Structure 1
Amino acid sequence: MRVWSVHPRYLDRQGLVACWRETLLAQAVLAGRTKGYLNHSQLVRFRATADPVASVCAYLGVLAVEADERGYRFDRSRIDRPVALDAVVPLPVTEGQVAYEWAHLLAKLAERSPDRYALVRDVTDVAVHPLFVPVPGPVEPWEKT
């Protein structure tokens, strides 16, 4: 499961679709609808919020907007609750985590989506998903490096 901290604008088609599907799984886990993935490390940051389901729903909403901008149709009815970003507290993400994910994403794009890689490879000020706010620090302790 990869719930990206980087902005979904950088993801290729495969990455955006995978992130959508994996975050829907995260939503199911956080809502108590599945027995699998209960202890997945990527869920730590959502569980640390007052309302983990609201946070993951807000995350999904941003992915749906990105999909719309690309002409894809993600089924918004699969989001448990439509939650605006300003209705949830932003989650911190360390600069080290963002740098780690950026390098990971660039490697994936270079291999499977050369056109997308060419568009983003020179980005130096990496934007994060709007649910997150960057803070100083190393790679997050929950990350499997």
Structure 2
Amino acid sequence: MRLWSIHPDQLDRAALVAGWREGLLAQKVLRGLTKGYLHHPQLERFRTMRDPVAGIATWLHGLADAADARGYRFDRTRIALPAGGGRLDLTDGQLALEWRHLRDKLGVRDPAWLGGLTTPRSHPMFDLVPGPVAAWERSPHPEA
């Protein structure tokens, strides 16, 4: 499960669609509707929010907005709540790690998309702050 901190506009088709699917699973976990993935580290940051379900819903709406702009049809009726469920801090270290991870993936699966990327931006629900990679991160690139 990868719940990207990167702005959904910068995700290629595969990452956007996978993020949607994984975000819906995360929403199900946070609503207590499944027994799997309960302790997945990607969910830790949403659990710090006053309303974790509203937080993941806001994250999902960001992906749906990017999908709409590309002409994809993500079914927003699957999102439990409207957007506006709060904001989270995102460290520049975490964003840099995810940017590197995405660029590594794109170098293999979509070099043309990679060529159009310049500077990383964060998902609209995050406020960028200085800091290291998040404690919950389990990426193979911890030194970013």
State the TM-score bracket (shorter-chain normalisation): over 0.9
Aligned amino acid, residue 79 of structure 1? I
Question: Is 1:91 equivalent to 2:88 in the alignment?
Answer: yes
Deviation at 1:88, TM superposition (A): 3.0
* Root-mean-square deviation over aligned CA pairs: 0.8
Classify the secondary structure of the residue corresponding to 2:116. helix
Q: Residue deviations 1:88-130, cap 9 Å, x none?
A: 331011110000000000011111011101101xx13x21000
- Scaled by the length of structure 2, the TM-score of the pair is 0.94
The aligned residue for residue 118 of structure 1 is: 115
- Scaled by the length of structure 1, the TM-score of the pair is 0.93
Aligned amino acid, residue 132 of structure 1? F
Runs of 4+ more than 3 Å apart = none
The aligned residue for residue 142 of structure 2 is: none
1:18-37 equivalences under 5 Å are: 18-37=18-37
Q: For the residues of structure 1 that align with 2:46 and 2:130, how far apart are their CA atoms? A: 19
Q: 5+ residue gaps in structure 1?
A: none
Q: For the residues of structure 2 that align with 1:93 and 1:34, how far apart are their CA atoms? A: 27
Identity of paired residues, percent?
55
Q: Residue deviations 1:19-58, cap 9 Å, x none?
A: 0000000000000000000000000110000000001001
Question: Is 1:133 equivalent to 2:130 in the alignment?
Answer: no
Q: For the residues of structure 2 that align with 1:72 and 1:88, how far apart are their CA atoms? A: 24
Contact 2:8–2:16 (CA under 8 A) maintained in structure 1: yes
Q: 5+ residue gaps in structure 2?
A: 140-144
